[in-house]
Amino acid sequence: MVKVGSALLTDPETGRINRSWLESLIEDLLRLRRRGQQVILVSSGAIALGRRQLGLPKGPLRLEESQAAAAVGQIRLAHAYKELLESRDITVAQVLLTLEDSERRHRYLNARATLETLLSLGALPVINENDTVATTEIRYGDNDRLAARVAQMAAADCLVLLSDVDGLYTADPNKDPEAGFIKEVLKITPEIEAMGGRSASDVGSGGMTTKILAARIAISAGCHMCIAAGHHRHPVSRIEDGARCTWFVPSATPIAARKQWIAGTLRPAGAVTIDPGAQRALLDGRSLLPAGVTGARGRFERGDTVSILSVEGTEIARGIVTYSDADAVKIMGRKSSEIEGILGFRGRDEMIHRDDLVLLNPEPALKESVGS
């Protein structure tokens, strides 16, 4: 995943899109895709582009002014991406998210499923915050944290924040000639946080502080994150060629981090009981299908974490459920192909997908007890 800031995307003099630079970035992204990597781009720039078009003055904007600017700028941004990508035979998809899409679980699951679908169909998602509807209280305001949340949602393994600085320093390098460059961060300590306490650049909203907050989200989701200077042409290839940047290194993979988080849920919202066949499938690393569910307890919504109980009532696993308790009861014991006929909509085939499921104490004894 790559995030570009407004300061790189727009020319500070004219307020227009830096087209030849953007083309070089797109070429970098397409090179990653040709290598078989899935690419998501998080792009700022809507407000910067729109304010010029609307003739708004320099300096801080009122909320309604920045929302108006975003409405005008986003369409220009989307147009530029469409032109640049479709002339290279890539389908571009615009995804506008709000804070709620990443914080509310069922919306999080929806956004995640959409991203997965777009990627599997070969489209290149270009993401921004939905600035025209996001009000102050419910707004990220900066695309650094938005990008980190999307990285978490998509279980991305790498997030590159292209910025107007080349990384993290022990002090402000413009003021302090002794300032040391930090190449790698394994843990976000209070010292690292203190290094983020400097002013933001004047075009985008994110400063070093929001980048460090983003790094915290990214590495806890098992995603590597890098802060690198973006103003050169081919900014992503430069990083691969060894250009200076700061890497934040996670201690787990994205899926392992998601599973740790699921296992650590303090109070699962409810529970489903499964039959011995489904239990065997789970132990073999497969998903839980409605066919193997024999009962549901508690009140839960799509996106909640639930316990998975064996016939004996022992909690053997936990996972994020894709149906509410009411729907789960209706489709339990039934084939996935029957779901649409029963519920009236075509939901997921799985009750709990294997990527969202973690076995608790998968001991060999348990495996024997289910008669494998």
Which residues of this chain interact with ligand GLU, rule CB under 6 A?
5-6, 44-48, 70, 128-129, 131, 142-143, 204-206
Torsions phi, psi for 50 (to 5 deg)? -70, -35
Torsions phi, psi for 160 (to 5 deg)? -110, 120
Residue among 68 and 262 whose Cβ is closer to ligand GLU: 68
Measure the CA–CA gap between 308 and 293, rounded to whole angstroms: 9
Residue among 129 and 327 whose Cβ is closer to ligand GLU: 129
Torsions phi, psi for 324 (to 5 deg)? -75, 170
> What's the min distance (Å) between Cβ of 50 and ligand GLU?
8
Residue among 131 and 325 whose Cβ is closer to ligand GLU: 131
Measure the CA–CA gap between 356 and 176, rounded to whole angstroms: 47
Q: What is the DSSP track for 72-126?
A: HHHHHHHHHHHHHHHTTT--EEEEEE-HHHHHSHHHHHHHHHHHHHHHHTT-EEE
Residue among 147 and 154 whose Cβ is closer to ligand GLU: 147
Helix (H, G, I), strand (E, B) or coil at 223: coil
Residue among 46 and 95 whose Cβ is closer to ligand GLU: 46
Region class of 331: left (phi > 0), else alpha (psi between -120 and 50), else beta:
alpha
Residue among 5 and 347 whose Cβ is closer to ligand GLU: 5
> What's the min distance (Å) between Cβ of 189 and ligand GLU?
25
Measure the CA–CA gap between 25 and 2, rounded to whole angstroms: 10
> What's the min distance (Å) between Cβ of 52 and ligand GLU?
12
> What's the min distance (Å) between Cβ of 356 and ligand GLU?
29
